[in-house]
Amino acid sequence: KVDYDVCSNYGNWLYSAGIGNDPRDSRKFNMIKQGLDYDGNGDYVRLWVPELQGIKGADIHTPWALSSAALSQAGVTLGETYPQPVVTAPEWSRHIHQR
């Protein structure tokens, strides 16, 4: 049996991207929380973002929050080998360094 509904799938992807219909005000997709929940050790990010290979564990989800020493040890220079974040959402702060 195939479980597939084009409209439902499209709607879920829009919702996950933060542009779908949501009856709740100010609802946002929290990328940091999702990364920690579903890629707690950072293996998926490490697979697809080789620039961050040297960062251990879940810290890979928030490299801008690491100390200069930790970044240097990992071979990461923000703004050079890996970009600075364009934005940092206030709701991310409660997930940084809470493993």
**Which residues are documented as binding site?**
3-5
Partner residues linked to 82 by β-bridges: 78
Tokens of 6: 């084009």
Q: Judging by beta carbons within 10 Å of its beta carbon (0-12, 13-18, 19+), is residue 83 exposed, middle or buried?
A: exposed
Q: 57 phi and psi, to 5 degrees?
A: 60, -155
Tokens of 26: 């100010």
Annotated binding site for FAD, which residues? 3-5
Q: How many residues does the chain have?
A: 99
